[in-house]
Structure 1
Amino acid sequence: MLMPVLFRMKVIPLILLLAVVFAFLLNWPVLLHFYNILTHLEHVKIGFVISIPFVLVAALNFVFMPFSIRFLLKPFFALLLITGSMVSYSTLKYKVMFDQSMIQNIIETNPQEAHSYLNGSIILWILLTGVLPAILLFLIKIEYPSKWYKGIAYRLLSMLASLALVAGVAALYYQDYASVGRNNSTLNKEIIPANYVYSTVRYLKDTYFTTKEPFQTLGDDAIRVANKEKPTLMFLVIGETARSQNFSMNGYSRDTNAFTSQSGGVISFANVHSCGTATAVSVPCMFSNMNRTDYDSNKAANSEGLLDVVQKTGVSLLWKENDGGCKGACKRIPTIEIKPTDNPKLCDGETCYDDVMLENLDTEVAKMAGDKLIAFHMIGSHGPTYFQRYPAEHRHYMPECARSDIENCTQDQLVNTYDNTIRHTDHVLAQMIEKLKQYSDRYNTVLLYVSDHGESLGENGLYLHGTPYKLAPEQQTHIPMQVWMSPGFIAEKHIDMTCLKNNAAKNQYSHDNLFSSVLGLWDISTSVYHPESDIFRGCRS
């Protein structure tokens, strides 16, 4: 069925019109950012200010022109309009940057997570700025030059005109553009569609079209002296989107650690930083033997990790997943994927409260042999639907932000809701500690909790997480870490708790420490263990 024709337009003016639409509509966030920068400068040339949208239109026209081929133009630019609309909304509302890591986050997000980002605001935005322009594009009858060589000539002339305009502006205001660019390195990552198209191509190239490294085993020389009196039971809890500054044990004014503070013996590490600002980076990084500065996702995906090394020494392992995937960290480990449809009391059909991970735990422990390590991957404080992370009885701070378009809540509502998620995580951790206490007559027990990354709650206009690490605010990288040990475990490992508490308050740590710290707690001797990275080693006699 043929589409009706709304009106006719020649191909060269149409591409220029698309460049104008992208520049003024979808790139509205970058123009706002640009002019916000200029308002804070002491001296600004009026010609430089006026030139900015013209340069953006000319640059987009130059880049768009090679794609103005018959049969390609309409589907190609319709796709760019719709995807660009999504990116524009995220940039405008949440200040999200679409680098390669963000593309990885999007591709690896499960349908339940993706659904939590949907709301009336984003749907209306996409319809008006993406779907509607795409439909109008299909209703245009595009007129192409009668001769192919004329088409090439006209396109080249349009591209040369764009280059001439950019060159002319550069001749007049190069120093101004260079100065703003040097001092605001994120601007070039905000231009739509160049930012997300380039990042997507890089991600696909690195993931699917780059020769994978040969699979590397790790810690083949690992040996461990088993406990003589009792076996060990460890709970290793990976938090989600928790930031350190909202933990009362780390100085926050609200009592968000009301439950673990009553458990007795919980030590909170005040100065810990993440490997990344998103789960897709942080989780595989923290379980690898690489540091943040030399972390290679391709290498990590083709190598064994921390849990593989522990498993080689005879420890029974289990991974319980409540956050949509372990990002490869549990690939060779027995895993239980918690299904939101299996527990209507603790799940809503799409996600589950973290309390669900305590269900059937006694049975699961009984099925494991000898020394045991159970890793729990929490949904924790995953946004933007923070209000869905805790049951009604944990609505402690009110009023809450019971919506996904969190930028439309007041700051108080947003912080209340986020703090409720932290308090509920604390409740779950306290339940886990109580469970370990019940096992302390049969096992030496220990719980180690660390979050994968933090979260922005509107500070400096930023929301959620995923900002490139070198640009990320402290809220996204400063994370909580806590440890609890039974008296039997403390005695078995000869740990000076006063020493550990002092170190937790004053020393700087990061995800880089997790690998060797866990190996150290299990007394595993291997060439991949680095004693200087073991948090606990300095406090063991």
Structure 2
Amino acid sequence: MASRILARLRRKRPAVHVETLLACTALFMLAAGNGPFWHALLAGRPAEPGTWLFAAAVFLSLSCIYFALAAFFVNRWTVRPVLAVLLLVTAASHYFMERYAVYLDRAMLRNILATDPREAGELLSWALAGHLLLLGGLPAALLWWPTLRHRPVLRAAAVRTGWILGALVLGTASLLLVFADFAATMRNHREMRWLITPGNVVVSLVGHFGSRAPRAGQPRLAVAPDAKPGPAPARPLFVVMVVGETARAQNFSLNGYPRDTNPELARRGVVDFPQATACGTSTEVSLPCMFSPWGRRHYDEDAILSHESVLNVLARTGVHVLWRDNQSGCKGVCEGLPQEATSRLDLPGVCRDGQCLDEALLHGLDAMARDASGNTLVVLHMLGNHGPAYFKRYPPAFRRFTPACETEDLRRCDPAQILNAYDNAILYTDSVLGRLVDLLQAASATHDSAMLYVSDHGESLGENGLYLHGLPWAIAPDTQTHVPFIFWASQHFAAGRRLDMDCLRARARQPVSHDNLFHSLLGLFDVKTRAYEPGLDIFGGCRRG
């Protein structure tokens, strides 16, 4: 009985040509998997015939382009696996673009490829699984339902060429009907092209793997090869730089936020720079950028990724540099330098299943400061407010703002709950930084100690429908680019570096950015090099003598 049913089903399977399968799949992906693009393209347009003509022309043109590109590369043996992968990529892209309003450009793709598996796991949900099954899995399975018609080789080549030329002609003709309108829209909103999936993913992958950035194990080009140490200080320096994660300046009470999220820092007399701007909106962009001489003002991704960071420059001049990480690595910034990962620690109540709370970064730091024999820079890379699982970034004692969102699926929480969880994580960061200042204060008995804290980028918490981070910098909201920037120095450090702290506080309200970091670190350690620009050293104007 079963065999007869299967035989009957096989006889009813349609027979199609490869070109038909390609055309149907292209139409489906453009229609079902590109909601964010169509919403952005048609935003603000009236519901009238001219709008529908515009949408239809763009839809037909993009479908023809997708068809022509795919038809050039696939054959009857590869068409179904290739289309299945593209359908799954489209479904996954659509889910995250729709849910978190992200743009899948090259920077975002780099961020995805470098994401720690534990962090990636926080984005997995039943909603994602259902979306992938409905929009990707089922259509991909249907690709194997029809049989593929066979043509002789020469005839198949001729037919395929005709289909490709026909698609290009039809696509061009369709686009010409609305070219002026479409060109103006894409010129004024260039970021919109990163919403067209799966083309955005394919183009970003090609750009990523075609980059001139060095691969693992390849040496980086030297920065400031002429760097030399200045006169040795009377006492060794012990500086800790803390790289915050996903902390936005708007939620720091030091910057006027009505909730008291910085009680510990406020009591310790830190210098707050309330107008600080990030180089990027993701760790993959900001971290290499902020430690480079290019910064946002001369941003060149390939140059940044192919050259050493300021940490390498400091190390060459005799500074002992250590990178201690509680996140997903230093993104090449600390390549060739000593590194430690908190994932190797076993601290009850602090570390669990290979993931630690940020206070683990302070473990053993007091002994390190006590034993340091020369100028030392320790960089602490926090987990901070990495989303969407903000509730996992702080211990129960810091669950002060309630009710807090306690799920990775932010859409299941109202904005107030998301904000509560986020602010609890900021409150915990404040506590860790307060403890660090106390540790450095104790170390000032033998060393000139200081702390510099700056976040890599900010975060969107649902404002205007945006969540998380990673929007292209040119269109990113202030919540993703406005970051906290905080400095503390012991009295011995200020005296030894001839740093007028009153002057620094008076100048702190001036705009600063990640662009200042390279030159400010060189200035703090008195490194002499032509690469140093005094005007970008935030401490330079307040040094006396």
* TM-score, normalising length: structure 1: 0.92
The Cα of 1:349 is off from its aligned counterpart by 1.1
Q: Check if 1:519 corresponds to 2:522.
A: yes
The match for 2:22 is: 15
Structure-2 separation of matches of 1:68 and 1:319: 47
Structure-2 separation of matches of 1:126 and 1:24: 16
Structure-2 separation of matches of 1:33 and 1:42: 17
2:250 paired residue among 241, 245, 249: 245
Structure-2 separation of matches of 1:174 and 1:300: 37
The Cα of 1:339 is off from its aligned counterpart by 0.9
1:372 paired residue among 362, 376, 397: 376
Structure-1 separation of matches of 2:112 and 2:400: 32
Structure-1 separation of matches of 2:321 and 2:389: 32
The match for 1:176 is: 181
The Cα of 1:209 is off from its aligned counterpart by 9.4
Q: Output the amino acid matched with 1:531.
A: P
The match for 2:281 is: 277
The match for 2:109 is: 103
The match for 2:479 is: 475
User: CA separation of 1:302/1:183 partners in 2, compared to 1, >3 Å: closer, same or farther?
Assistant: closer
Q: Output the amino acid matched with 1:338.
A: T
The match for 2:400 is: 396
Structure-2 separation of matches of 1:204 and 1:328: 16
Q: Check if 1:35 corresponds to 2:39.
A: no
SS in 2 for 1:447: strand
The Cα of 1:183 is off from its aligned counterpart by 3.0
Kept after mapping to 2: 8 A contact 1:340/1:347 = no
The Cα of 1:52 is off from its aligned counterpart by 4.0
Structure-2 separation of matches of 1:173 and 1:336: 57
SS in 2 for 1:331: coil
Larger CA deviation: 85-94 vs 125-134 = 125-134
Larger CA deviation: 312-321 vs 91-100 = 312-321
Q: Check if 1:346 corresponds to 2:353.
A: no
Larger CA deviation: 45-54 vs 284-293 = 45-54
The Cα of 1:213 is off from its aligned counterpart by 8.7
Q: Output the amino acid matched with 1:296.
A: D
What residue ranges of structure 2 are gaps of 5+ in the alignment?
A: 1-8
Structure-2 separation of matches of 1:281 and 1:175: 34
The match for 1:203 is: 208
After TM superposition, the structure 1 = structure 2 runs for residues 327-346 of structure 1, keeping only pairs within 5 Å, are 327-339=331-343, 342-346=346-350
The match for 1:385 is: 389
The Cα of 1:208 is off from its aligned counterpart by 7.4
Q: Output the amino acid matched with 2:206.
A: V
Structure-2 separation of matches of 1:208 and 1:385: 31
2:512 paired residue among 509, 513, 519: 509
Kept after mapping to 2: 8 A contact 1:320/1:375 = yes
After TM superposition, the structure 1 = structure 2 runs for residues 399-414 of structure 1, keeping only pairs within 5 Å, are 399-414=403-418
The Cα of 1:358 is off from its aligned counterpart by 1.2
Structure-2 separation of matches of 1:37 and 1:187: 15
Larger CA deviation: 400-409 vs 334-343 = 334-343
Q: Check if 1:528 corresponds to 2:531.
A: yes
The Cα of 1:36 is off from its aligned counterpart by 2.6
Structure-1 separation of matches of 2:49 and 2:542: 57
The Cα of 1:459 is off from its aligned counterpart by 2.0
Structure-2 separation of matches of 1:379 and 1:496: 32
The match for 2:272 is: 268
SS in 2 for 1:446: strand
The Cα of 1:71 is off from its aligned counterpart by 1.3
User: CA separation of 1:472/1:441 partners in 2, compared to 1, >3 Å: closer, same or farther?
Assistant: same
Q: Check if 1:116 corresponds to 2:114.
A: no
What residue ranges of structure 1 are gaps of 5+ in the alignment?
A: none
Q: Output the amino acid matched with 1:449.
A: Y
Kept after mapping to 1: 8 A contact 2:523/2:540 = yes
After TM superposition, the structure 1 = structure 2 runs for residues 141-152 of structure 1, keeping only pairs within 5 Å, are 141-144=147-150, 146-152=151-157
1:26 paired residue among 17, 33, 50: 33
The Cα of 1:350 is off from its aligned counterpart by 4.3
User: CA separation of 1:82/1:422 partners in 2, compared to 1, >3 Å: closer, same or farther?
Assistant: same
Structure-2 separation of matches of 1:295 and 1:173: 35
Kept after mapping to 2: 8 A contact 1:321/1:338 = yes
Kept after mapping to 1: 8 A contact 2:370/2:443 = no
SS in 2 for 1:501: helix
Q: Output the amino acid matched with 1:233.
A: F
Q: Check if 1:154 corresponds to 2:159.
A: yes
* TM-score, normalising length: structure 2: 0.92
Q: How many residues get paired?
A: 534
SS in 2 for 1:293: coil
Q: Output the amino acid matched with 1:117.
A: L
Q: Output the amino acid matched with 2:247.
A: A
User: CA separation of 1:214/1:476 partners in 2, compared to 1, >3 Å: closer, same or farther?
Assistant: closer
Kept after mapping to 1: 8 A contact 2:214/2:306 = no
The Cα of 1:133 is off from its aligned counterpart by 1.8
The percentage of counterpart residues that share the same residue type is 37
Kept after mapping to 1: 8 A contact 2:191/2:472 = no
User: CA separation of 1:298/1:351 partners in 2, compared to 1, >3 Å: closer, same or farther?
Assistant: same
Structure-2 separation of matches of 1:21 and 1:348: 44
User: CA separation of 1:163/1:397 partners in 2, compared to 1, >3 Å: closer, same or farther?
Assistant: same
User: CA separation of 1:486/1:126 partners in 2, compared to 1, >3 Å: closer, same or farther?
Assistant: same
The Cα of 1:305 is off from its aligned counterpart by 2.2
The Cα of 1:112 is off from its aligned counterpart by 1.6
Structure-2 separation of matches of 1:289 and 1:510: 12
The match for 1:459 is: 463
